[in-house]
Amino acid sequence: MRSLLIDKNGLRVNLNEIRARSGSADIVADLSGDGQGVGLLRMARFLREEGLGSFAVSEPQDAAMLRRSGFSEERILVLRSITNQGQVRELLDVGVTFTLGSYEAGIALNALAAERHTVAEARVRIDSGLGQYGFLARETDKMLTLFRQMPNIAITGMYTQLSSTNILSETQQQYEDFMTAARTLQAQGVNTGILMALDSAALFRGEFGEQNAVCVGSALIGRVPVKAGSGLAKVGVLEASLEELNWLDKGTKIGAGKGVVLKKTTRVAVLDVGWFNGVGTFRPGDRVEPFLIGKVKSRLARKTAFSPVFRVNGKRARVLGQIGMTGLVLDVTRCNPVPGDTATLEVDPRYIRGIPVKMSEGE
């Protein structure tokens, strides 16, 4: 038995914290990454039950899946700036709010909307340092063209994704650059619509007073890399039944390669989860710089693997040897295990795959 347990009560705690921080601003739930690892439809249905009706997705096919699955009234913002005509046509079919991050994206959308004798809704994206999608804040002349010369596009807002959330001064400067661009357009008579400039970390770290919408993703599962988010509940527990309980003698080797040699008689259990499932392969916060070489890169690369500590019957159970693709071995000597017991591990749902998801009301 394996499962990724998602506590609904924890999700509600996080949603209440988000609402408290957002004030009167509209909340847009970012469902990228398969609904923050919870499952796209599973998370969307939960949020709809909790009264949210505005979603954002990174993948165009996710928007189509939401529409096919009964989310006909919800507003869906596609976070990518798309110029591919096939994808634009598909999104026009399902009815979404487009992102315009370039003049070329505006040209493509306006032409295809005119072809259908319709008006497409869109929001202008400004790049705050990610270097992905969006106009530079100083390119207000290009943005002005979108507002004034694209008759088949209704621009209902502007947004940005802040790229620096650990250094508050940089975050505030990025936000001010975004707002300066909006004010410049407003001074020329443009209705900039809804302004959205915060992500999860910035929402819980800074104070930004002018935006009228916030877009949050990782905060929904309690994974905000700032201390200010300590009121959030970390959601996600991996459960796996103990398999093949055995006593192994001192001197027994466990694991591939060098493995580990037992220094004393040890009771072990096999778990049918491994690095393919995301166990022990990455710890949020670790970074590897691929352009570094030699010993520096080697030291950084070692950070991408770590040994998670499971719990069995309330006691710690460490991994013995290397984690395999689909299995690992636990030292359960002190856990007094019996067949059918379960090992648990707190995990970030975004890094887990190939494991069935269960939602519960918790305690």
- 58-102 pLDDT, tens digit per residue, is 999 999 999 999 999 999 999 999 999 999 999 999 999 999 999
Which tokens hold the place of 35? Answer: 């609904």
The residue-averaged pLDDT of 264-289 equals 80
Structure tokens at 133: 């999608």
Q: Which two tokens stand for residue 89?
A: 């046509």
Strand partners, 261: 253
pLDDT for 303: 47
Residues 6+ apart with CB under 8 A from 296: none
Does residue 126 contact residue 136 with C-beta atoms inside 8 Å? yes
Please tell me the distance from the alpha carbon of residue 243 to that of residue 227, in angstroms, as a whole number.
38
Span 112-162, pLDDT tens digits: 999 999 999 999 999 988 888 899 999 999 999 999 999 999 999 999 988
Query: Tell me, what's the pLDDT at 352?
Result: 94
pTM greater than 0.85: yes
Q: Is the pLDDT score of 291 beyond 70?
A: no
What percent of the chain lies above the pLDDT cut of 70?
A: 89
User: pLDDT at residue 207 above 80?
Assistant: no
CA pair distance 270, 280, nearest whole angstrom: 15
Instruction: Output the six-digit token pair for 25.
Output: 């601003």
pLDDT interval class at 29 (50, 70, 90): very high
Task: Give the dihedral sign, CA 288/293/294/295.
Answer: negative
Residue ranges per structural domain of the chain: 7-221, 237-347
What DSSP designation does 274 have? -
Exposure of 294 in the CB half-sphere (CA atoms within 13 A): 1
Q: Does domain 237-347 have CATH number 2.40.37.10?
A: yes
The answer to whether the CB of 11 falls within 8 A of the CB of 221 is yes
Count other Cβ atoms within 10 Å, centred on residue 311: 15
pLDDT for 295 equals 46
What topology does CATH give the domain 7-221? TIM Barrel (3.20.20)
Domains 7-221 and 237-347 share a fold: no
Q: Assess whether pLDDT exceeds 90 at residue 348.
A: yes
- The predicted pLDDT at position 136 comes to 94
How many whole angstroms from its chain centre is CA 302? Answer: 24
- Euclidean distance between the first and the last CA atom of the chain, given in angstroms as a whole number: 21
Q: Which regions of 82-212 does DSSP assign to beta strands (E)?
A: 97-100, 120-128, 153-162, 194-196
Look at residue 81 in the predicted model and tell me its pLDDT: 95
Mean pLDDT calculated for residue range 224-247: 86
Angle at 108 between CA 79 and CA 118, to 5 degrees: 90
